[in-house]
Amino acid sequence: MRLLPAIDLIDGKIVRLTEGDFNTEEQYGDPYEKLKEWQGRVPMLHLIDLEGAKAGEPRHLDVVRFAKTCGFFVQTGGGIRSEEALDAVMATGADRVLLGTKAFTDPDFLDRALAKYGDRVAVALDAYDGIVAVNGWQEATDLKDIDAAKGLVDRGVKTILYTDIGSDGKLNGPNLERMKALREAVSVTLIASGGVTTEADVEALQAAGIDEAVVGKALLSGQVSLDDLIEWEARHA
Number of folded domains in the chain?
Answer: 1
122-133 burial, b if ≥16 CB within 10 A, otherwise e?
bbbbbbbebebb
How far apart CA 120 and CA 196 sit, in angstroms, is: 24
How many Å apart are CA 211 and CA 3, to the nearest integer?
A: 9
| CA distances for 76 relative to 96, 113, 121, 178, 220, angstroms | 6, 15, 10, 23, 18
Nearest residue to 153 (alpha-carbon basis) of 116, 114, 117, 127: 114
What is the per-residue pLDDT for 18? 78
- DSSP label at 39? T
d(CA 114, CA 120): 8
pLDDT at position 206 is: 97
Contact partners, residue 21, CB within 8 Å, separation at least 6: none
CATH number where 208 lies: 3.20.20.70
pLDDT tens-place string over residues 144-182: 999 999 999 999 999 999 998 887 665 678 999 999 999
Give the residue numbers spanning the domain of 15. 2-235
| Catalytic residue IDs | 8, 126
List, for residues 37-85, the tens digit of each pLDDT value: 999 999 999 999 999 988 889 999 999 999 999 999 999 999 999 999 9
pLDDT at 19 over 90: no
Task: Give the per-residue pLDDT at 170.
Answer: 57
Distance (Å, rounded) from C-alpha 189 to C-alpha 236?
A: 17
- pLDDT value at residue 172: 72
Tell me the three state secondary structure of residue 25: strand
Sorted by sequence, the CB contacts under 8 Å of residue 71 that are 6+ apart come out as: 39, 40
Contact 202, 223 (CB under 8 A): no
**48 alpha-carbon distance from chain centroid:** 7
| Per-residue model confidence (pLDDT) at position 135 | 77
